Structure 1
């Protein structure tokens, strides 16, 4: 048996290369049509037809080819014929470079006595191929116009905003408007009637563009949330599948194919649930939905959503993902006799970045991926066998820093002598039964601080003072507590309860930081600044900042 593995590298860099939402939209559809079997006229099917390869869903015989995975621009192919897979590899890479220029990828071909052994051999070859540098085509002449957005050699000229465009940008724009978009259909609830033109295409439309296709920002605010989510616990599932395949080697391809399809169904169901429960109710008449899907492949999802809806979206998505995974995994257990080897559910690690529409998406997605890693690590530390869903987020208020650890050190850390104070708890856990710190408690704290009669100005000033005068910060916090005790004792009691639940901060502590020197106040104020909490008939914090 032989295996051919193909995966895309740096997908997010390709998606966000030009920084324009219209180009990102086109890139999403373009990538979705590479390997997804459900996508109309996908490239992989076209290549297989051109080679006259017979694609089967069972264990392949002779020159037959079977796929155990076709999602997220990747595919895993198996065949008894090395020649068949070599021909697939050669024509696929040729077609890919013409269809999607400058797209980085890795591939590996290997063989073994069983499909599992072939897979491991091909996986080793793929890992070795990851560091391989390939020539970028088309190559630039010594004197050539270049795209000002990507720096790549230009092959065409677009509108005034576009100027000189490279080959990949041209392809992105060709797919920006499609009446039949299989990718966007995955986010549309069944029976909703949503079409491709119900989703925004531009952040700021051109003068000759349809203003109805612009992103529906609320008021003067131009703040978005870039959300990236990735599944937890997949390693345990793969271990269970590997163990089952050792007992039944002939079932390897079907096991992995069923699991790949299962993960895709779970993610699509969660995406549609979030659209139904969060996006559709928030849609304004005559305007697009307040979000733009960017990527959905396997257990990965990336999208832009209106800032004030972001937390509701991720909570709804995570809940639906966990519920769908529980029922789907139970069916997978029954079908393949896996017993208790599989986990009861799958969960998510989520990274979220609040940013202005004018800030570079390409840097923001790297920060979102870094935040996702923080969330996944926190979940694994809590429970390695059943990690809870977790979220880490950051609101960008100055220059973008791609690495979360560097960001915390440079923008959220204060020092007083040998003591280190940090204005974030890092990751928060999702769900009512989740461990502490819980996202629901943080949202409750933000709601409390966002109330019209709540004196939150001193709270914001406290964090500023922490970087200048520790003594003055202690005095300011003491005075604020005294004012709240005299005028709003119930709110202060609620404030103390939430601080204790989130970080075990006591009401008698001189500052709202726990024993580790961490506080959730910075995170709560970040939510206010992003417009998550609004008082009745009051402009949100983002609009205030814009007006200022």
Structure 2
């Protein structure tokens, strides 16, 4: 009977590690370290331990897993990587000593190269031919053990310094050097940094190489670059600058993985557990790889659509996105992907492009997962868009975007009641005080509990019977477009903004306001609705709030 050891790697405390400072260079480097710790460095650890493994081109970004090598059939194989990426790695070892040696070698690498990063490992034995040891069930058991381990472990408490030490400006930890030799530009401020920040800055450029590698080929003829500084995301002259933090995550990924086990159980003789386990390895590996490709292709679509909307303005002598958002120094794209690969993505962009770019990503993710060659079920994702002032604390902005994405997922489960793409957003004109629910109750609800907002909303209208108005494409987005561009409203922008305050007072006040100023009929979102309210939900508040903060993508052909 073949006995093996299952090993799972997972990163812990990623949010504070990546988003712990407002210096974009550090965020970029931190994201790269997270990626490498569970992919390239894991493969390097296998090699350093002198293990034969199934990783092809393990030192390169286009590494792959050999589908023709199986640990139960190949006696020369010491370790088989089932999948790797997204901060999570699953490996089968021949014995526990090998698994532990691998963890030791990888731990040393992380301590040396990625100070401050926490990676957790857990091991579990499996009897490959035992009917009670189906791999899908053992994987679930391993994940439970890993989760318990992460909860039980005591967080490290680094020494914050003594009376004779100086503090790092980003982390508050003991400074060990200055950033003098790690500057991108000579004019950058010289400052004290800790080992953690030094590690992040050293890997910053490799992060850019990986981004460009995965997004190749870039749109033809483009000479633009991704920024390393938040201030390069495109400031509009005379306006206060905001940045959007966008987090998108695939819906029900756990369910998709569960269905792999169910599908294999139908395809393979249930009594032949060895055959089941091998087929499960093939299918979960393929699933992981294809979802990763779909996510990267969707991100590539975002950059391509952004590039199409860039046009040179002779009057302003600047490159502009949709004739509005400038490219800083006529060079930097107003977007910076931070976390990418797998079913989730996090990127920053100019806030006025936040909803437009999030929408492109959601549409592209749906399209990519539906491709026949991917052999995936049609998949959807939800996005959270947090629009905050340029130098608002990153960690809190990311937490808000994650909460908004979760809110959209809750809407899909409890209100849409079918799998679909959805989005939620929040525009913070000032700071954020309290939870999202508390903010919306305080600022977006009437005293009787009626809600001024429709969000979260579906990406697309469900069908012609959908009369709730809670969809973005051809819904709220169209209403914004009419308020911005329809000749009936072009010269009435102040009246439209004034309507927002009357919407707070209810439908009778809206009717009175529209009559008093002889306003035309409001753009139709819900058939027959004329006074801005449908039941306990306000129809137009979201659209009016976004009028000055949403720039749709317009291809150059449309603007010439």
Candidates 139, 151, 156, aligned match of 1:131? 151
- Equivalent pair of 1:366/1:402 in contact (CA under 8 Å): no
Residue 225 of structure 1 and its aligned partner are, at CA, apart by: 1.5
Other-structure match for 2:455: 426
Answering whether residue 43 of structure 2 is matched by residue 45 of structure 1, we say yes
Candidates 519, 523, 529, aligned match of 1:506? 529
Cα distance in structure 2, aligned partners of 1:358 and 1:24: 14
- SS of equivalent to 1:130: helix
Answering whether residue 235 of structure 2 is matched by residue 217 of structure 1, we say yes
- Equivalent pair of 2:500/2:544 in contact (CA under 8 Å): no
- Equivalent pair of 1:2/1:119 in contact (CA under 8 Å): no
Other-structure match for 1:309: 353
Matches within 5 A, 1:337-416: 343=377, 345-382=378-415, 386-401=418-433, 403-415=435-447
- Equivalent pair of 1:450/1:528 in contact (CA under 8 Å): yes
Residue 424 of structure 1 and its aligned partner are, at CA, apart by: 1.2
What is the CA deviation profile of residues 187-221 of structure 1, one whole-angstrom value per residue up to 9, with x for unaligned ones? 344564778x81111123xxxxxxxxx33333344
- Equivalent pair of 2:9/2:88 in contact (CA under 8 Å): yes
- SS of equivalent to 2:127: coil
- Equivalent pair of 1:370/1:402 in contact (CA under 8 Å): no
Answering whether residue 124 of structure 2 is matched by residue 80 of structure 1, we say no
Cα distance in structure 1, aligned partners of 2:299 and 2:389: 24
Other-structure match for 2:174: 153
Other-structure match for 2:109: 95
Cα distance in structure 2, aligned partners of 1:194 and 1:35: 32
What is the CA deviation profile of residues 341-369 of structure 1, one whole-angstrom value per residue up to 9, with x for unaligned ones? x73x0001100011221212210100000
Cα distance in structure 2, aligned partners of 1:402 and 1:158: 36
What is the CA deviation profile of residues 122-166 of structure 1, one whole-angstrom value per residue up to 9, with x for unaligned ones? 212101112134453763444332223322222223368563322
Q: Which moved more, 1:89-98 or 1:427-436?
A: 427-436
Cα distance in structure 1, aligned partners of 2:357 and 2:339: 16
TM superposition score normalised by structure 2: 0.79
- SS of equivalent to 1:55: coil
Cα distance in structure 2, aligned partners of 1:287 and 1:190: 15
The 3 A distance-change label for structure 1 pair 126 and 482 is same
Other-structure match for 2:484: 450
Cα distance in structure 1, aligned partners of 2:290 and 2:413: 23
Gapped runs of 5+ residues in structure 2? 55-65, 129-134, 181-187, 269-275, 312-318, 320-326, 554-560
Residue 19 of structure 1 and its aligned partner are, at CA, apart by: 1.1
What is the CA deviation profile of residues 474-496 of structure 1, one whole-angstrom value per residue up to 9, with x for unaligned ones? 66523332146x453xxx1x52x
Residue 265 of structure 1 and its aligned partner are, at CA, apart by: 0.5
Answering whether residue 288 of structure 2 is matched by residue 288 of structure 1, we say no
Gapped runs of 5+ residues in structure 1? 37-41, 205-213, 333-341, 535-548
Matches within 5 A, 1:519-538: 519-532=538-551
- Equivalent pair of 2:79/2:91 in contact (CA under 8 Å): yes
What is the CA deviation profile of residues 308-361 of structure 1, one whole-angstrom value per residue up to 9, with x for unaligned ones? 322322222222211110125x653xxxxxxxxx73x00011000112212122
Other-structure match for 2:226: 199
The 3 A distance-change label for structure 1 pair 156 and 138 is farther
Q: Which moved more, 1:446-455 or 1:87-96?
A: 446-455
Answering whether residue 70 of structure 2 is matched by residue 59 of structure 1, we say yes
Cα distance in structure 2, aligned partners of 1:189 and 1:477: 51
The 3 A distance-change label for structure 1 pair 381 and 187 is farther
Cα distance in structure 1, aligned partners of 2:171 and 2:394: 13
Candidates 3, 8, 16, aligned match of 1:5? 8
Residue 98 of structure 1 and its aligned partner are, at CA, apart by: 2.4
Candidates 227, 231, 247, aligned match of 1:228? 247
- Equivalent pair of 1:229/1:350 in contact (CA under 8 Å): yes
Residue 100 of structure 1 and its aligned partner are, at CA, apart by: 1.3
- SS of equivalent to 2:547: helix
Other-structure match for 1:258: 286
Cα distance in structure 1, aligned partners of 2:537 and 2:118: 40
Q: How many residues align?
A: 487
Other-structure match for 1:39: none
TM superposition score normalised by structure 1: 0.81
Q: Which moved more, 1:115-124 or 1:285-294?
A: 115-124
Cα distance in structure 2, aligned partners of 1:403 and 1:377: 16
CA RMSD of aligned residues (A): 2.9
Cα distance in structure 2, aligned partners of 1:466 and 1:524: 12
The 3 A distance-change label for structure 1 pair 179 and 145 is closer
Other-structure match for 1:337: none
**Dislocated runs of 4+, deviation >6 Å:** none
Cα distance in structure 2, aligned partners of 1:228 and 1:10: 17
The 3 A distance-change label for structure 1 pair 445 and 21 is same
The 3 A distance-change label for structure 1 pair 522 and 93 is farther
